[in-house]
Amino acid sequence: MLSASLTLDPASTVAPVRRRTFGTFVEHLGRCVYTGIYEPGHPAADEDGFRRDVLALARELGVTTVRYPGGNFVSGYRWEDGVGPRERRPRRLDLAWHSTETNEFGLDEFVAWARKAGVEPMMAVNLGTRGIAEALDLLEYCNVESGTHLSDLRAANGSKEPHGIRMWCLGNEMDGPWQIGHKTAREYGRLAAETGRAMRMVDPGLELVACGSSGSGMPTFGAWEATVLEEAYDVVDFVSCHAYYEEHDGDLASFLASAADMDHFVDAVTATADGVGARLKSKKRIDVSFDEWNVWYLSRFQNAEPPRDWPVAPRLLEDHYNLADAVTLGGLLISLLRHSDRVTSACLAQLVNVIAPIVAEPGGGAWRQTTFHPFAQASRHAAGDVLRVQLDSPSHETARYGTVTALDAVATHDAEQGATTLFAVNRSVDRPLRLTAGLRALGPVRLAEATTLSGPDPYARNTADAQDTVAPRPNADARLDGAALEVTLPPVSWNVIRLARP
Ligand code: AHR
């Protein structure tokens, strides 16, 4: 048995919990839109063709914002194709995913879906094959109240009220050679700055995201952010980060420690942004929008045969997650939360079917993958302020990330409600961990709930027929001992411990 300790002190805070940390992503990719959120004719479909079962799971997941429509897809997308009468909408080739886009579902449908789901829409503009004029058209269509060609067109298409979209991504992964219209940092930085400036002329209150690196392993990582921000610093509010993790060659210990890379990624990007700000003598601070993150078995996708034809909504990137994936995802959430001073927006990529916490079968049921649970618990219980948690934990070596602690944890404290929640992972592959948490600074508390997501098999999964094989269970071992919490965290586990006023 390993043993570790930490102390919770409500006076030591990082930042408020940012509700936008719990965003996700809906891309026109595979079955995320078609037979994911939208499936007219499905027994659970509502009058708009939106699947009620998926809507209910999205609400249960606690999603706050949803990024749309891509992703790589956006770099070839013409938003106009997806508005107006359906019978006039063109079918197009989607080069990013080698699919056919029917355009049966588009912008107005997405905004209507977002309203029903109770989430904030976050829109990406195409800076791959398009530019300033098309971004301005899209903005006019979405946000101008009335009295112009495109705002009146929106009203004529059935949306009288403006969509009022605040948050806009200026392109997607423009550093990636796979991106349609891939650019150098200087080319993209100039285009992002000029597009953003023009968009602000229409609506100064927008929140704009410049593309950062598609991963911390990109050859241009660091230099890309610096150059883009040299061009766009005064225009944008956020720089994006994207990161996907997978277990390589059975190296579970490294995989479980993926948050070490995310920590480094955020620290490096904020340092780079602050460096540019200092050189520009700017008082402004650029935040991080971690608008794509997840576990993704990307190498399986890269090794698979690309589609030969142009299918409509094929099964693509339908990763089937296990317990270890969920624990790793929990660790990534801990990293995002502990960086809440700079990461003020994030999107789990994606919401349904495509590397997603929710699976929806065409004509069939919808169910929760293992990864659903840490996200849902964190979104539900993270409240108030994020606390700075000092850990004292044994550590071990990993091949990818060097020495890492077995325990990783973050806590939130809601002073008004008197609620404190500890989120913790045990990253040891084989040893339980005895945790002692000092609670004296919290004053009198009671144990409201302790759950663990764990089990004998780190590769156990949920299926349509056995949906709760991996789900949070009460951790009966947790108890308060004076001003300390004592709990055993099983190996490869995600744990949530809630303390309340007595
Ligand atoms: O989320 C899947 C893809 O990953 C997105 O389309 C792209 O932005 C990233 O490379």
Residues identified as active-site: 173, 292
| Closest ligand 1 atom to Cα of 73 | 6
Question: Which residue lies with its CA nearest to atom 4 of ligand 1?
Answer: 71
CA of 11 to the centre of ligand 1 (A): 39
For 343-390, write each residue's pLDDT tens digit. 999 999 999 999 999 999 999 999 999 999 999 999 999 999 999 999
CA of 71 to the centre of ligand 1 (A): 5
The residue whose CB lies within 8 Å of the most ligand 1 atoms, and thus the one to mutate among 172, 175, 294, 301, is 172
Strands, sheet with 473-474, edge to edge from the N-terminal-most edge strand = 13-16, 385-387, 407-414, 419-426, 493-500, 446-453, 473-474
| Cβ of 124 less than 6 Å from ligand 1 | no
- DSSP, collapsed to helix, strand or coil, labels residue 117 as helix
For 416-457, write each residue's pLDDT tens digit. 999 999 999 999 999 999 999 999 999 999 999 999 999 999
CA of 479 to the centre of ligand 1 (A): 43
| Cβ of 319 less than 6 Å from ligand 1 | no
Dist CA 476 CA 478 (whole Å): 6
Alpha helix segments (H runs only) across 48-184 = 52-61, 107-117, 132-143, 149-156
* CB neighbour list of residue 308: distance below 8 Å, 6 or more residues apart: none
| Closest ligand 1 atom to Cα of 214 | 10
pLDDT band at residue 2 using 50, 70 and 90 as cut-offs = very high
Count of beta carbons in the 10 Å neighbourhood of residue 176? 17
The residue whose CB lies within 8 Å of the most ligand 1 atoms, and thus the one to mutate among 72, 170, 218, 246, is 72
Count of beta carbons in the 10 Å neighbourhood of residue 405? 18
CA of 338 to the centre of ligand 1 (A): 25
Dist CA 366 CA 467 (whole Å): 10
Which amino acid is located at 462 in the chain?
N
Question: Which residue lies with its CA nearest to atom 8 of ligand 1?
Answer: 71
Question: Which residue lies with its CA nearest to atom 6 of ligand 1?
Answer: 71
pLDDT band at residue 304 using 50, 70 and 90 as cut-offs = confident
Please report the pLDDT score of residue 488 as a whole number: 98
Fold of 2-10+386-500: Immunoglobulin-like (2.60.40)
* CB neighbour list of residue 86: distance below 8 Å, 6 or more residues apart: 104
What number does CATH give the domain 18-381? 3.20.20.80
Please report the pLDDT score of residue 299 as a whole number: 86
Dist CA 182 CA 315 (whole Å): 26
| Closest ligand 1 atom to Cα of 349 | 1
For 474-491, write each residue's pLDDT tens digit. 999 999 988 999 999 999
Count of beta carbons in the 10 Å neighbourhood of residue 358? 26
pLDDT at 305 over 90: no
Dist CA 377 CA 160 (whole Å): 37
Q: What is the mean pLDDT of the chain?
A: 97
CA of 72 to the centre of ligand 1 (A): 6
Rounded to the nearest angstrom, the gap between the alpha carbon of residue 275 and the centroid of all alpha carbons in its chain is: 26
| Cβ of 291 less than 6 Å from ligand 1 | no
- Cis ω on the peptide bond leading into residue 444 (within 30° of 0)? no
Domain range summary for the chain, segments of one domain joined by +: 2-10+386-500, 18-381
- DSSP, collapsed to helix, strand or coil, labels residue 311 as coil
Question: Which residue lies with its CA nearest to atom 9 of ligand 1?
Answer: 71
pTM for the complete prediction? 0.97
* CB neighbour list of residue 478: distance below 8 Å, 6 or more residues apart: 447, 450, 485, 486, 487, 497
Question: Which residue lies with its CA nearest to atom 5 of ligand 1?
Answer: 71
Q: How far is CA 493 from CA 109, 143, 229, 452, 454, in A?
A: 39, 45, 39, 7, 5
CA of 454 to the centre of ligand 1 (A): 29
